[in-house]
A and B are shown apart, each in its own frame.
Chain A
Amino acid sequence: MFKHILKRLSLLIPTIFGVVTLVFFMIALAPGDPARVMLGERANAEQIEQLRAELGLDKPLIQQYGLYLSRIVRLDLGKSITSGQKIASEIKERFPATIELAIWAMLFATVLGVLLGVTSAIRRNTWVDYTTMGGALVGVSMPVFWLGLVLIMIFSVWLDLLPTGGRMNIRYFFEPITNFYVIDGIIMWFKEGTPKFLVSALRHLILPTIALGTIPLAIIARTTRSSMLEVLQQDYIKTARSAGIKERRVIYRYALRNALLPVITVIGLQFGLLLSGAILTETVFSWPGIGKWIYVAIGARDYPAVQGGIIFISIFFVLINLVVDILYSVVNPKIRLQ
């Protein structure tokens, strides 16, 4: 197994390097001069020239690239043009919001997806199966941002049950501690004796979780179903049944443990895609995470910020895939014991 993990790790650095290179050159080649954008319309040529020098934009591209790489290694992503803040700290500030939402969405998708997938598989070709798989197909055919808007329309506007956006009731006096609001809500409950922060945090999470989780939910349900159907035909399932193991146990222990192996890979991939899908969902729900921040940066043509944000998410995506791969080799004895 260690050989396997080492091999994966050795691929990590070139992949990250490749991603950084790709993003750097693409953005560097973008039309429009960051210095001009930053200074606005009324700046004169001299001012622009000066800022270009400050940002290193007057140097040859290769040299800029070298500088950029050396900064990335030091985890320095530069400064945002619009806010003047360090990009790394802006990301750090917003990342908990994105991760919190992503984790909830993924939990929702995984639990429900596996459950629905297993149910469809054991009720193959019944209306349960058809409905679930039909629903899953609709789920992957929907634009996420539209689903978000429709959810807001139904549950916030028409039924007035849930908030339209944000992370916390703005009338509450709330000082984030960890920036994971559910955790903060629990801490506040202990400290102040009122669950209202926790309740508000959860209420704000519901709609974005559903919107963001629907695609992974559909994909996980489909994968689980087909994987489960394949596993249920294996000889060892017959063996377990022939030994009198109860059907529930055959399905949820003997079959599911095997069927989940390919699902784990899918879950990892979806988690990564979810972070990138956050740009759309966070925008719809005014969710103050990295996705919305990148969206704003795109609108403002804040290239360093877009560049930094995208590199950050991409690296995170690569890391998640690595973790999932390692996890996979841990749960699969065939790889673990190599």
Chain B
Amino acid sequence: MQNNQTSQEIIKDPTPLQETWYNLKKNKGAMVGMTIILIFIFMAIFAPLISPFDPLAQIIEDRKTPMFTNGHVFGTDDLGRDMLSRLIYGARISMAIGVISVGISLVFGILIGVTSAYFGGIYDKIVMRIIDIMLAFPYILLTIVIVSVLGPSLMNAMVAIGISQIPRYARVVRASVLAEKEADYVLAERALGAGNFELMFLTILPNCLSPTIVQATLGVGEAILSSAGLSFLGLGAQPPTPEWGLMIASSKEFITNAWWIVTLPGIAILLAVLGFNLFGDGLRDILDPKMRN
């Protein structure tokens, strides 16, 4: 036994972030997901540089050009706009949708979840009741209701998706704050005179982030899907915005003669959402194995 002790090397413990990254690198699905996400982010940022055409420019004589023809790798749509360029600009919109709507849900979800778990009592009861009601509501309908209040536009669709997802985030955050709030380090901080705000957001919250991050990653994919759905119903992006869902909606009559106009934007959505789902699943396996399903 003594022998064991002396031979033990002193290794620096990796930080949690390093450890997560290390585990993540071993998870093939997560790596594929991350690669997809990075490609879409790249397209979003550099859209003006990498798009071969102007996504809104209509070339009337080139309408419904098939793929790989006349310099249009992915062909053109019914108005002669270059599909590839539109898809690349679409990445911009979809990433924005993800970031903005998840941002909204995150901010309010965290605020509600943390305070409700931290203060408890009647406040917690009321908040949870409202959240239960919102969850009893199929969220697609909730977004439709919200958009019809705000009026159909891309921005309003994002807000609606953000709002409709708040209950979920509040739940997740609340559950993990409840689990943490009696932990020793919290009690110690409190004994040292930390105020409520400091305890909630600086002491407890950072230790509750794992499940929230997982939820947010999966949430981006879901937001992209929901926004596509809203646009398809005419409640989201409006023409001529190159939003993927809208591109499908406005070309659905061409499935008989120009399959690529309908198919390609769907594949773009599929890939982007798949990327976030793969990455989110991987993160969940690493950060929070208990949360499966």
Contacts and interface: CB of A to CB of B under 8 A. Distances in A.
B269 A310 contact: no
Interface in A21-59: 22-23, 26-27, 29-31
Contacts of B42: none
Interface in A199-226: 222-223, 226
Given A23-B145, A226-B292, A313-B141, A150 B263 contact: yes
Contacts of A115: none
A25 to B, nearest CB: 9
A162 to B, nearest CB: 14
Given A145-B248, A146-B248, A19 B137 contact: yes
Contacts of A143: 225, 228-229, 232, 245, 248, 266, 269-270
A89 interface: no
B75 to A, nearest CB: 15
A328 interface: no
Contact of A298 (B148, B249, B278): B148
A27 B145 contact: yes
Contact of A313 (B138, B139, B269, B293): B138
Interface string B236-271: 000000000100110010011001001101100110
Given A138-B274, A153-B259, A313-B141, A280 B233 contact: yes
Given A141-B277, A321-B136, A18 B130 contact: yes
A323 interface: no
Interface in B266-288: 266, 269-270, 273-274, 277-278, 281
Given A22-B133, A273-B140, A149 B228 contact: no
Contacts of B138: 272-273, 275-276, 313-314, 317
A49 to B, nearest CB: 24
B274 A19 contact: no
Interface centre among B228, B255, B259 (most CB of A within 10 A): B255
Interface residues of A, number: 53
B140 A279 contact: yes
Given A279-B140, A313-B138, A152 B148 contact: no
Interface in B199-214: none
Contact of A146 (B134, B233, B266): B266
A326 to B, nearest CB: 16
Given A276-B140, A280-B232, A310 B255 contact: no
Contacts of B182: none
Given A150-B266, A280-B232, A314-B141, 12 more contacts: A22-B133, A26-B148, A137-B281, A141-B270, A145-B229, A145-B249, A149-B266, A152-B255, A279-B140, A283-B232, A298-B235, A310-B141
Interface of A: 14-15, 18-19, 22-23, 26-27, 29-31, 137-138, 140-147, 149-150, 152-153, 157, 222-223, 226-227, 262, 266, 272-273, 275-277, 279-280, 283-284, 294-295, 298-299, 303, 306, 310, 313-314, 317-318, 321
The 5 closest A-B pairs by CB, nearest first: A146-B266, A18-B133, A276-B138, A141-B273, A141-B274
